[in-house]
Amino acid sequence: DADVTQTPRNRITKTGKRIMLECSQTKGHDRMYWYRQDPGLGLRLIYYSFDVKDINKGEISDGYSVSRQAQAKFSLSLESAIPNQTALYFCATSDPTGFTDTQYFGPGTRLTVL
Amino acid sequence: DQQVKQNSPSLSVQEGRISILNCDYTNSMFDYFLWYKKYPAEGPTFLISISSIKDKNEDGRFTVFLNKSAKHLSLHIVPSQPGDSAVYFCAAIGSGNTGKLIFGQGTTLQVKP
């Protein structure tokens, strides 16, 4: 079984709809992250959480919100989806040891906003 | 403002030859640099990293070189194999172990049999 899972894997929605992307992990890591990937731009950080009570904005948080329901669960919400939020979304986890803080990614959610 | 740049969107090499993927950065405060590999329909997976106090790190067929004066790093894969065909992302992390990775745009590597 995958250590980091994301649901749904694919989603098509309409402009103005509210949508939630969910991430679960069995790695026991405290740190969790949400990224989006756009062609030609690499991965950009949306939000991150270092524990259940800690939520931080990333590089591109406008239009998004998150909820850390438990150590293992971190959800990303689009309150009112717009077409330029069409992208590939990745959840990641990490447990910093040493100094590299290697991140482990889920398989991604492909979101299309019409 | 792109702090980590991969200026080559794609690279094609013959099986058995060396693949060299390049990455430039602008922030001299980065402490660690990492390479991730991504196959279609999968999330990125960690490949290799290097500390800013090193100039080389090797792991099997993969070697990362860091040139701090030029703010440049490169990933060498030798010999290249068809299974290495993927998108490669360079990433950097700032001081203080903030966990915030800054990624380059990615380079698509194709290794031809």
**Cα separations in angstroms, A59 against B3, B25, B52, B58:** 12, 17, 23, 31
pLDDT band of residue B100 (cuts 50, 70, 90) is: confident
For position A41, what pLDDT does the model report? 85
Question: Which class for B40: exposed (0-12), middle (13-18), buried (19 or more C-beta within 10 A)?
Answer: exposed
What pLDDT was estimated at residue B28?
A: 87
CB atoms B44 and A105 under 8 Å: yes
Chain center to CA of A10: 14
What is the reported pLDDT for A98?
58
Q: What is the pLDDT of residues A4-30, one digit of tens each?
A: 999 999 999 999 999 999 999 999 999
Task: Read off the pLDDT band of A96 (50, 70, 90).
Answer: confident
Q: Which residue among A48, A100, A108 places its CB closest to the CB of B100?
A: A48
Q: Dump pLDDT digits (tens) for B37-93.
A: 999 989 999 999 999 999 999 999 999 999 999 999 999 999 999 999 999 999 998
B5: Cβ–Cβ under 8 A, 6 or more apart, which residues?
A: B23, B24, B25, B26, B104, B105
DSSP assignment letter at B35: E
Cβ atoms within 10 A of the Cβ of B86, count?
A: 21
Tokens of A83: 């077409």
> Are B43 and A102 inside 8 Å of each other by CB?
no
- Nearest Cα to Cα of residue A4 among A44, A37, A31: A31
SS (H, E, C) B56-108: EEEECCEEEEEECCCCEEEEEECCCCHHHCEEEEEEEECCCCCCCEEECCCEE
A33-37, A72-76, B100-104: least confidently modelled range = B100-104
Best mutation target, B47, B105, B107, to test chain A (most A CBs within 10 A): B105
| B41/A107 CB distance under 8 A | yes
